[in-house]
Chains A and B, each alone.
Chain A
Amino acid sequence: MVKLIGWLLTNLFKKPLTIEFKGKSLKAVRGTYRGYPTHRGERCAACRLCIYVCPSDAIRIEGSLFIINKCKCTACKDCADACPFGAMQFIPRLIGTAISKNEYMEITEIKLVKCENCGEPMPKPELLLGRLLGKPPKTIPPYLKLCPKCRRQFFKPT
């Protein structure tokens, strides 16, 4: 007992044996750490491809809100590979403990434009054109500013 107390008291003046966690700073892990997905609302066309490919059901769309559940996400990067517009990006940012569950939910708004005729929300025409042409378009033809339904009404194929 006396020996034990002697050890304890001498331990007080020794350096702790704890080894610091190597991934404490981002620089140390940047090479191997993929990070977690972030969503860019202005590039999203709400095509739901990411939801289709996600193996862990971490993504859902409610109305115009795009919600990523980081608790479920396994950082497999399938969504970013599948996205045709590059709206899903992986940022190697560390996430630690959180006070509430909501801190693990990343909620962004999908920026959709409205059809000029009926007001139905639809994806941005320049996104589709850019995907089609391979470069950002200079001018947007007027029929692309309408939703598919209205387009069929106004520009009937002859």
Chain B
Amino acid sequence: MEFLKDLFLYPGFLFGFVLGGLLEGFKRKLKARMQLRKGPPVTQPFYDLSKLLLKNITKPYRISSFTYLLIPFVPTAALLVGLLIMPYPFYQEKSSFSFDLILIFYLTELPLLSQIIFGYFSNSPYGMIGAARAGQMFFYYNGVFIMVITTLCLLEGPPYSFCLKSIAEAWDPLDVLIKILTIPFFVFSVLAKLKLNPFSIPDAEAEILKGPLTEASGVALALFKLNYLLELAIFGSLFAFFYLPVLKTSPTIGLILILLGAFFLFFIFALVENATARLRLSQFSALYLKFLIPLATLILVITWVFKNW
């Protein structure tokens, strides 16, 4: 009973869904206001989802409907588990999970993998191009993300355990400096993970329609959108855990800090999305190979040297 409450109410489904939807709506509203538009209401993602649930499924010819619905459903379950293994206030005291960052990293990759599989499975040329692009991008930004995670988990000192809770509790002056240095890398890798504007290469609108999700419709598309909202909630709160003293204060203030951090991250995203245009795949890989991955590695080495002297 207690577990079901966790799974469906507070750190689980409802919390992730509402937070993700509000973040997406907030981002769209901010983006519109920066372009002097009025923008949709903040609750627009929920309207979209509820409307999609009522729509008919139009699927390509000769494709099994079981697989069509299973592919988007698997990452939904994975992301729910991903929410459960984050040390949210009011939840982390009673939880028996170990808040493993590697597990969170792995579970948040599943939506993208499912989209790639869906793109190839749906037999659509747009889907295949989108899936191929997503598959190529995957290696670059995850390199940076792994560097950021590794740098942060060096902060706690040996034995290194990749535990999110101990990263969130590391607040020495040197730790703060290193954390601030890793913020741009985190933002860039999450931008690419969420396929936001300078890196919206896999689902480039007006170019390859909706990328891997071109053939998704009805409940399947609703599930993909739900996955996206849950991902937004996870990355927003991950930002707060990394860079704000969430677990150092009382649980209520910690929760408020998580929300503030998440909304601040999406403010940055709205700014970056408006200020940049979509890159080509070659420009993207050059940016990551020439600048971001070497710099992230440099910070990792510097951190290791400082921590072991």
Interface residues of A (CB under 8 A from B): 1, 4-5, 8-9, 11-12, 14, 16-18, 99-100
What are the residues of chain B within 8 A of A99 when measuring CB–CB? 51, 54
Assembled-state Cα–Cα distance A8/B276 (Å): 12
Q: Determine if B35 is an interface residue (Cβ-Cβ < 8 Å).
A: yes
| Beta-carbon contact of A16 and B34 below 8 Å | no
Return chain B residues, CB-CB under 8 Å to A100. 54
- Residue numbers in B under 8 Å from A16 (CB-CB): 32-33, 36-39
Q: Is the CB of B271 within 8 A of A8?
A: yes
Contact indicator A8/B274 (Cβ below 8 Å): yes
Closest to B276 in A: A1
B4 at the binding interface (Cβ < 8 Å): no
Interface membership of B1, Cβ < 8 A: no
How far, in angstroms, from A4 to B273 measured CA to CA in the complex?
A: 12
Task: Specify the main secondary structure of chain A where it touches its partner.
Answer: loop
Provide the residues of chain A in CB contact with B51, threshold 8 Å: 99
Are B33 and A5 in contact, CB atoms less than 8 angstroms apart? no
Name B residues whose Cβ lies closer than 8 Å to a Cβ of A. Answer: 30, 32-39, 51, 54, 271, 274-275
**Which residues of chain A are within 8 angstroms of B34 by Cβ–Cβ distance?**
8-9, 11-12
B54 touches A12 (CB 8 A): no
Closest B residue to A4 using CB positions:
B275
Given A12-B30, A99-B51, A100-B54, is A17 in contact with B36 using a C-beta cutoff of 8 Å?
A: yes
Interface pair A1/B275, CB less than 8 Å apart: yes
Q: How far is the CB of B191 from chain A (nearest CB, A)?
A: 15
Q: How far is the CB of B271 from chain A (nearest CB, A)?
A: 6
Who on chain B is nearest to A100 by CB? B54
**Considering only CB atoms, which chain B residue lies closest to A10 in the complex?**
B34
Give the top 9 A-B pairs by smallest Cβ distance, nearest first.
A18-B38, A8-B34, A16-B38, A17-B36, A11-B34, A4-B275, A8-B274, A99-B54, A5-B275
A12 near B33: Cβ-Cβ < 8 Å? yes
Question: In the complex the two chains form, is B37's CB within 8 Å of A18's CB?
Answer: yes
Nearest chain A residue, comparing its CB with the CB of B34? A8
State in angstroms the CA–CA spacing of A99 and B275 once bound together.
Answer: 35
- What chain B residues lie within 8 Å of A14 (beta carbons)? 36
30 contacts between A and B (CB under 8 A): A1-B275, A4-B275, A5-B271, A5-B275, A8-B34, A8-B271, A8-B274, A8-B275, A9-B34, A9-B271, A11-B33, A11-B34, A11-B35, A11-B36, A12-B30, A12-B33, A12-B34, A14-B36, A16-B32, A16-B33, A16-B36, A16-B37, A16-B38, A16-B39, A17-B36, A17-B37, A18-B36, A18-B37, A18-B38, A99-B54
Which residue in chain B gives the minimum CB-CB distance to A13? B33
- Nearest-CB residue, chain A, relative to B272: A5
For the complex formed, measure the closest distance between the CB of B140 and the CB atoms of chain A, giving whole angstroms.
Answer: 22
Q: Given contacts A4-B275, A12-B34, A14-B36, list 18 more A-B pairs with CB under 8 A.
A: A1-B275, A5-B275, A8-B271, A8-B274, A8-B275, A11-B33, A11-B35, A11-B36, A12-B30, A12-B33, A16-B36, A16-B37, A16-B39, A17-B37, A18-B36, A18-B37, A99-B54, A100-B54
Residue of B nearest to A20 (CB): B38
Q: Distance in Å from the Cβ of B173 to the closest Cβ of chain A?
A: 30
Chain B residues closer than 8 Å to A5, beta-carbon distance: 271, 275
State the Cβ distance, B284 to closest chain A Cβ, in Å: 18
CB distance from B276 to the nearest CB of A (A): 9
Q: How many Å lie between the Cα of A9 and that of B54 in the bound state?
A: 38
Complex alpha-carbon distance, A12 and B118, angstroms = 38
Q: Which residues of A contact B271 (CB under 8 A)?
A: 5, 8-9
Complex Cα–Cα for A14 and B38 (A): 11
Q: Bound state CA distance, A4 and B271, in angstroms?
A: 10
B37 contact set on A, CB distance < 8 A: 16-18
Q: Which residues of B contact A18 (CB under 8 A)?
A: 36-38
Chain A residues with CB under 8 Å of B36's CB are 11, 14, 16-18
A17–B37 Cα gap in the complex (Å)?
Answer: 6
Q: Could you say which residues of chain B place their CB within 8 Å of the CB of A17?
A: 36-37
Residues of A within 8 A of B30 (CB): 12
- A7 to chain B minimum Cβ distance, whole angstroms, is 8
**B272 CB to nearest chain A CB (Å):** 9
A9 to B267, CA, bound (A): 11
Task: Determine the chain B residues whose CB is within 8 A of the CB of A4 once the complex forms.
Answer: 275
CB contacts (< 8 Å) of B32 on chain A: these are 16
